[in-house]
Amino acid sequence: MRSGVADTPERDEWKQAVGSTLTHHGPCCDRARAWLIAMGRSYDFSSTDGLALAGPRWITQRWAWGPIRWPVAWCEAVKAETIDCGVFGAFALELFRAKGIEAYPGQLLRGCAEERISHWRRKWDAIPTAFNWIGTRVVYHEVSVVRTEADQARIYDPTEGFWLEPGTQSGHHGHLAIRAEIPVPLKWGDHELVNGQWTATALVG
Amino acid sequence: MTGAAGTPHAGGDKAMKETVFISGLYSGPSPSAGLGVARSVRAAFPSAQLVGVDYWAGSSGLHHEVFDATWLKPPWDLIEEDLYAKEVQAELDQGALWIPTLDLEVAWLARTLATHPLLLAPDEKALAPSRKPRPSVAELLPFEIAPSLDLSASDEEIYAFCRAHSWRVWIKGPYHEAVAVGDWRQLEQVRAWMREGWQTDRLSVQVHVRGYEESVCLAAYDGRLCDALYMRKRITTPEGKTWAGHVGELPADLLGPIEAAVRAIGWTGGAEIEVLRDVDGRRWWLEWNPRFPAWVHGATLAGRNLPAALVRRALGLPDGPRAFSAQAEFTRVVLEVPVRSGIPLPLPVEPEHGQLGVHGKYGASLSAIVPMLVPDEAPTAAAPTLSPESEADLLATAAVVATPHRLFLPRTAEAAFGRLPTVAPVEGILLRYAYSLKTSPDAEYLMLARKAGMLAECISLLEVRRALEAGWRADEIVLNGPGKWWPPTERAVDGLRVVFCDSVEELERLAGSRRTDGLWGVRLRIPGSRSRFGVSVDEPADFERLCAAVAALPPGRDLGIHVHMASTMIGVGHWRDVAESSVAWAGAIEAASGRRVRALDLGGGYHPDDFARLPFRDIVRFARNTLSGLTAVYVEPGRALTQATMAMVTSVLDVRQQEGKLQEVVVDACIAELPLASVYPHRFFHLVDERPVPVSRGPVRVLGRICMEDDVLSQGLDLPDTLKIGDRLVICDAGAYERSMSYAFGRGGYS
Cβ–Cβ contact B581 with A under 8 A: yes
pLDDT (0 to 100) of residue A135: 85
Average pLDDT over residues B8-14: 61
Among A88-97, A142-151, A163-172, B179-188, the range scoring the smallest mean pLDDT is: A163-172
CA A53 to chain B, closest CA, distance in angstroms equals: 6
| In the predicted structure, residue A204 carries a pLDDT above the cut 90 | no
Average pLDDT over residues B259-272: 98
pLDDT (0 to 100) of residue A203: 54
pLDDT (0 to 100) of residue B3: 34
Within 13 A of B86's CA, how many CA atoms are on the CB side?
5
pLDDT (0 to 100) of residue B11: 54
CB contact under 8 A, B329 and A34: no
Interface test mutation site (partner B, options A29, A49, A154, max chain B beta carbons within 10 A): A49
Q: How confident is the model at residue B267 (pLDDT cuts 50, 70, 90)?
A: very high
pLDDT tens readout for residues B539-582: 999 999 999 999 999 998 989 999 998 888 899 999 999 999 99
Nearest to B279 among A38, A58, A163 (CB): A163
CB neighbourhood size of B97 (10 A)? 23
Residue B255's region, left for phi above 0, alpha for psi from -120 to 50, else beta, is: alpha
Give percent of chain B with pLDDT exceeding 70. Answer: 97
In A, which residues are within 8 Å of B329 by CB distance? 169
Helix (H, G, I), strand (E, B) or coil at B124: helix
Mean predicted lDDT score pLDDT of chain B: 93
Helix (H, G, I), strand (E, B) or coil at A81: coil
Cβ–Cβ contact A31 with B under 8 A: yes
Cβ–Cβ contact A25 with B under 8 A: no
* CB-CB contact of B441 with B463 (8 Å): yes
Cβ–Cβ contact B75 with A under 8 A: no
Q: How confident is the model at residue B355 (pLDDT cuts 50, 70, 90)?
A: low
CB contact under 8 A, B278 and A43: no
Cβ–Cβ contact B543 with A under 8 A: yes
Cβ–Cβ contact B166 with A under 8 A: yes
CA B714 to chain A, closest CA, distance in angstroms equals: 30
CB contact under 8 A, A169 and B328: yes
DSSP letter string over A111-140?
E--HHHHHHHHHHHHTSTTS---B-SSEEE
Which of A:74-113 have CB within 8 Å of B? 75, 78-79
Among A42-46, A73-77, B399-403, the range scoring the smallest mean pLDDT is: A42-46
Phi/psi of residue B461, nearest 5 degrees: -70, -25
Nearest to A31 among B210, B547, B571 (CB): B547
Nearest to A30 among B281, B585, B591 (CB): B591
CB contact under 8 A, B279 and A78: no
How many separate helices (H) and strands (E) can be counted in chain A? 7, 12
Which of B:545-574 have CB within 8 Å of A? 547, 571, 573-574
CB contact under 8 A, B543 and A44: no
Q: How confident is the model at residue B199 (pLDDT cuts 50, 70, 90)?
A: confident
Q: How confident is the model at residue B360 (pLDDT cuts 50, 70, 90)?
A: low
Terminal Cα distance for chain A, rounded? 5
Q: How confident is the model at residue B373 (pLDDT cuts 50, 70, 90)?
A: confident
Cβ–Cβ contact B577 with A under 8 A: yes
CA A39 to chain B, closest CA, distance in angstroms equals: 7
pTM of the model: 0.92
Cα dihedral B552, B553, B554, B555 in deg (nearest 10): -80
Phi/psi of residue B151, nearest 5 degrees: -80, 5
Question: Rounded to an integer, what distance in angstroms lies between the CA atom of residue B523 and that of residue B534?
Answer: 5
* CB-CB contact of B28 with B12 (8 Å): no
